[in-house]
A = this chain, B = another copy of it.
Amino acid sequence: MSALPTFPIGDLPAMWLRDNCPCAECRDPRSGQKLFQITALPTGLRVGSAGAAAGTAEPAVEVVWEPDGHRSVYPVAWLAANRPGRTDHGDLRTEHGKELWTARDIAGRLPAADWADYLDKPGVRARMLESVLRLGFMLLRAVPQREEQVLEVAETFGYVRETNYGKLFDVRVEPDPNNLAFTSVAITPHTDNPYRDPVPTLQLLHCLVNDADGGDSGLVDGFAAAAMLRREDPEAFEVLTRTPVPFVFRDAGTELRADRPLIGTDSLGRVREVRFNNRSISTLRLPAEELEHLYAAYRTFAELLLRPELQLDLRLTPGDCLVFDNTRLLHARTAFAQDGARHLQGCYADLDGLAGTLAVLRRADTLEPLVEMFAGAGTAEYLGEPVTMAQHMLQAGARAEAAGAPPHLVAAALLHDLGHVAGEVVTGLELMAGTDNRHSHTGADLLGRWFGPEVTEPVRLHVAAKRYLCAVEPDYYDQLSEASKYTLKVQGGVMTPEQAAEFAALPGAADAVAVRRWDEEAKDPNAGTPPFEHFLPLLAALARG
């Protein structure tokens, strides 16, 4: 199946290739951990000879190394998938690994599930955990309303981070508050514990009682807000990413301090962390002019965070447990009347454990639901096109494969319209009613159960890619089928130049455009297609990570 590598082995960076030798002497077969130090590699390392390996289960290349004579066998599929070339800083913790949102984007697709389903159905659990990574949160419903239950929720995906507040903390409203922290005033969007380093990366809030009038919750995507600030006021963004701010908390038993910027970026300038909480910003010591710039930028960002369109409003009812990314999402609550009772229990945990749990769930998950969806799609009409949904998607996958696309793009092409057909198969999915301009999101959300963003994001963006291509390629619109021209209208129409520039800057844009082209080509009633099963090994390998 796999093509032989089209590049000479000797052109590959020698240290990189050798560092990735998969032999049992170099790498523990069980854990995949390397068994040598980089300094143990001989100096003057180079490929002595390379050729087809004999007797391997899959096509492979054997390399004999100079000067030490070590032998390495690299599967051709591995070389193809990992060949140097494009830059892949696949850090899923930055804005590039996320779907940024405003409140409107979440409407009708709140990542929510019942506790019983979450526990019993690995597919539901995977979809929920994936939502925490991608959207920044999940909402579990009908969680037993007992004290300390929040710890049990955390243990389904990771480990509780104990702090000076204990393993868990109580958020209570007292009718006669003995402390200003327990009044009923509104609390504007903020992140928790900015004075801690490492900051807790996940927060859980479990609602036990909520009889108070008011006290509704709100969530704001801090990454989306930071990206908005970068567009609207690049200087303010730059000041906030550059200036460490002292966050301080002290009481009788502890005293914590962290000096971090309000917007944290990685070494490549991508947003990776937001800390926002005026309650704990301590005295900044800077030259007066820098203080003025910082405070102006800080206030601009604070005002932006209060825009109503950014805030997703939701009311926690008893049994709800909200789990959210505390490095990204800000949370808020409205004011409420003091004559009602309200009691939440919260705890902290960390994203790395949650991501690990999801990765293992994906490994164990079968692709059977996908097989079923395709069987269901086999009979469905494709919006007036002369092919069925299944034929359309299989053709797209086959065209990607024929073009020599990497596995993740073959999968994205094959599965790009899953959102059209999945409604009846996946329990609990909240499909958008009416217009279909969200099917790319629905499909991408579904696929998150098995695949990472390299597959889900081109699917998510494939409708936007049509709107983009119509904007930047004058002939593109004319090539569209009549049905596709029709749906373009309900999908938002041709992009404006500004929208097109924004789209082109997205990390998955190029992949989405590629998928889109195969999509348009895949409407030939006479084209033969391989069966879905043909793609299963490729999908299984991707799903295993």
Contact = CB atoms under 8 A, between A and B. Distances in A.
A91 interface: yes
B11 A288 contact: yes
Interface in A242-256: 242-244, 246, 248-251, 253-256
Identical subunits present: 2
Interface of A: 11-13, 15-16, 19-20, 28, 30-39, 41, 82, 84-93, 159-164, 179-181, 188, 196-199, 201, 241-244, 246, 248-251, 253-261, 264-268, 278-281, 283-288, 290-292, 295-296, 298-299, 302-303, 306, 350-353, 355-357, 359-360, 363, 545
A283 B13 contact: no
B254 A350 contact: no
A355 B249 CA distance: 12
23 contacts: A19-B281, A19-B295, A31-B181, A33-B249, A34-B280, A39-B188, A39-B306, A85-B288, A87-B285, A88-B286, A89-B243, A92-B259, A160-B162, A164-B353, A197-B351, A198-B199, A198-B350, A244-B268, A250-B359, A254-B356, A254-B357, A258-B352, A261-B267
Contacts of A82: 283, 285
B285 A31 contact: no
Contacts of A91: 244, 259-260
Given A34-B279, A198-B201, A267 B244 contact: yes
A39 B305 CA distance: 10
Contacts of A299: 15, 38-39, 41
Contacts of A290: 87
A57 to B, nearest CB: 20
A241 B267 CA distance: 7
A39 B197 contact: no
B287 A85 contact: yes
A453 to B, nearest CB: 13
A512 B208 CA distance: 57
A212 B405 CA distance: 55
B34 A256 contact: no
Contact of A242 (B38, B268, B291, B351): B268
B292 A34 contact: no
